[in-house]
Homo-oligomer: A and B are copies of this chain.
Amino acid sequence: MATATDTTQRDKDLQDLIQRVEALEGSVAQDKLCLGVMKGDLDYTMAAFIIGLGAAAYDMEVDMFFTFWATAALRDPKKRAKKGFLDKMFGWMLPKGTGKLPLSKMQMGGIGPKMIRSVMKMHNAQSLEELIEQAAEMGIRIHVCTMSMDVMGIKKEELIDYPHMDFVGVGTFVDMFSNAKQCWFM
């Protein structure tokens, strides 16, 4: 029969174990995918949304962090923003929205992206614009890197209307990916 000593030891073991399990629960990755989108080419941006939507369909939470060149992909060609000279210059050089994104390969003076787009349409694959629309419906969050916007002279008022968009620094991104199940930089 259990003596008082045994019982006390067993209680201590159990309490100790509860604490260890709590620590584990705190450090285990959440069911979340975090995508750092930097390149901003048509093919890479589409890949990011296709994978993000795939993950969202499996009930993963999806956070996308748009930084460097990829911020230009979020520009709305119909919107305008007041800019200084240098920002204007960058603005001319960077693609004005998804419709102008180059391919990372086979660009061929602009023929490549048109070819890929028409072939994808033929195969009933969604266009980048449709993917972004669906991402909005699925609740995928887009976080835009404020430092990149500063450097490239991109203003909030020239970006697309997207329901789950905010503007964050690198610290927020670190916080985001540190407990995600997977995070890629693409």
Residues of A within 8 A of B (CB): 1-4, 6-7, 10-11, 13-14, 17-18, 20-21, 24-25, 27-29, 31, 33, 36, 38-39, 43-44, 47, 50-51, 54-55, 57-58, 60, 67-69, 86, 90, 93, 104-106, 116, 119-120, 122-123, 125, 147, 150-151, 153, 170-171, 173-175, 177-178, 180-186
Contact = CB atoms under 8 A, between A and B. Distances in A.
Given A11-B10, A17-B21, A182-B180, A173 B57 contact: no
Contacts of A28: 24, 27-28
Nearest to A14: B13
A174 B21 contact: no
Contacts of A58: 171, 174-175, 178
Copies of this protein, total: 3
A93 B17 CA distance: 59
B184 A184 contact: yes
